[in-house]
Amino acid sequence: MKNYIAKNYTNIVAYLIALLFVYAAISKTIDFENFQVQLAQSPLLSAYAGFISYSVIIIELALALLLCLPKYQKFALYGSLGLMSAFTIYIYLILNYSDFVPCSCGGILEDLGWTEHLIFNIVFVILAFTAILYREKKSNPVKSLAFPFSISLATIICSIGTVIALFLSSEHIIKKENNFTRRFLMHPIIEDKKINLDNENYYFVGNDEVKIYLGNKSYPQTLFSIDTAFTDSVRIKIQPDNLSHTFRNIQIKVKSPYYYFYDGSVPVIYRGKLGDQNAKTISFNDAFFTQFVPIDSTKFALRTLSRKTKELTLALLDINADPKIKLYPTILEKQVDGVFDVDGGLISNNNTEDLVYIYNYRNQFISLDNKLNVLRRLNTIDTTTHVKIQTTVMKDGRHKFSAPPFKVNSRTIANRNLLFIQSDLMGKHESRESWKRAKIIDVYKANGQEYLGSFYLYKGKDSNVTDFWATDNFLFVLIGSDLKRFYFREPIIGHFKNKEGKTENL
């Protein structure tokens, strides 16, 4: 047996590697869609998933064939050494330099952990390397092995260098450019608590250090509060000092220690102390508005319609200033009509003084300070730089869609330096079945052009995700009449900590 192995070592290794490549290629081909999705989730090669998914299968099958042909076996062994070296360095980078570790690649190796997979690949690198040297020594016993040794070493170095270059390039594309290949984070949130509310019409309005607050579309005067442990809840009916207005769209916002009860179509703003049902009028007829964000007890950021241009614009309302309202017409950048093309959401960045405006129909969001100075204009990972809408201006000056709009971004929340955006667009290599069962949340840094990753928020059996809210420790989600609490894990929670590693607000 030893003599047989010694005599046929090169062929044994060649056939063994060929068998591995054939099996791996067939496994990938049978479940090709899943293979592409797994590559797309790779933190190293996400940007090249389409190209690599085809290339790997073709190379594996070609090398398997050449390994079985004596004339081309030498060339194929060098190719196998390079490919296995590439696989090996890929796993090493995953284990040591990746933001997260993705799922395994399937097939017979699916049950192996990444460390075991690394050892498996190293064994095959050694087999290919020794088979090359053995073949050269057997064909010419007196010839030095320096040349095949150098070529083998160069092959390994080139393969490693190529994978590292792809890794660095992919990281740049995924984090800095708009390639629209999502990277799904590995279990960044874990559900741990749930309560059932009395109806499906609640929405989040804010939080303080110990409680979250919800409004209700069916009962607009209701402010519901619950502690973050879901052990104690309070419901109050807000009593404004004047209810004689013709209300159309009553809403509530909370910025501790106050809540704000308002309707921009009147326009009126009431303010009440948290825990007190009585709310007093602090602004009436100062400015019509469609969106409202409290900055402090007397200053508010608004989105309104300019009387002069008939276009949407951001504004500051200071009830103690003269004049009270100041417009900032250059913040929202017009592309079509200045109304629908700049439509989006104005939100506060929870636990900071900053604001964010996210466009609905293009891949951009704007970070602002509390004086509405633009800090930075940043992009989401989709490629819709220009809105895809068709609008018509009616005789009375109203704007209407003349064709269904192409919506990019939906509901958005921000906490500290992270932005959580519900996307309405499917990225490359994503499962349609998952899209039917869940909402996609993309996570970005609000203070720099960087996409961190995505995760799913799964719908209920007969209900949808209607709203969500982030604090330093938890993500709260409304799904039908259920209020669910998810706790954040790395890498999300790490972005909410200070330099000493402690969470600043609980």
Tens digits of residue pLDDT in 309-336: 889 999 999 999 999 999 999 999 999 8
State the average pLDDT over residues 209-214.
95
| Confidence at residue 412, expressed as pLDDT on a 0 to 100 scale | 95
SS3 of 372, please?
coil
pLDDT, mean over the chain:
86
Residue 402 has pLDDT above 50, yes or no: no
State the average pLDDT over residues 11-33.
89
Mind listing the pLDDT tens digit for each residue in 119-137? 999 999 999 999 999 888 8
| Confidence at residue 426, expressed as pLDDT on a 0 to 100 scale | 83
C-alpha pair distances (Å), 109 with each of 29, 91, 103, 491: 15, 13, 11, 27
Pairing verdict, β 299-305 and 258-263? unpaired
| Confidence at residue 222, expressed as pLDDT on a 0 to 100 scale | 97
Are the beta carbons of 322 and 349 closer than 8 angstroms?
Answer: no
| Least confident stretch, 102-106, 279-283, 341-345, 466-470 | 102-106
Give the residue with greater pLDDT, 382 vs 237.
Answer: 237
| Confidence at residue 1, expressed as pLDDT on a 0 to 100 scale | 60
Residue 370 has pLDDT above 60, yes or no: yes
What is the H or E stretch that residue 64 is in? helix 49-67
Phi-psi region at 99: left, alpha or beta (left = phi > 0; alpha = psi -120 to 50): alpha
Give the residue with greater pLDDT, 109 vs 50.
Answer: 50
Per-residue pLDDT band for 501 (boundaries 50, 70, 90) equals very low
Handedness of CA 52, 55, 57, 60 (dihedral sign): negative
What is the H or E stretch that residue 125 is in? helix 114-139
Q: What is the pTM of this model?
A: 0.72
| Confidence at residue 184, expressed as pLDDT on a 0 to 100 scale | 86
Alpha helices, DSSP H, located in 401-499: 432-437
| Confidence at residue 174, expressed as pLDDT on a 0 to 100 scale | 58
Cite the beta strand spans of 333-431 per DSSP E.
344-348, 355-359, 364-368, 374-379, 391-393, 399-401, 409-415, 418-423
Mind listing the pLDDT tens digit for each residue in 407-441? 889 899 999 889 999 998 888 777 778 888 899 99
Buried b (16+ CB within 10 A) or exposed e, 362-372: bbbbbbbebeb
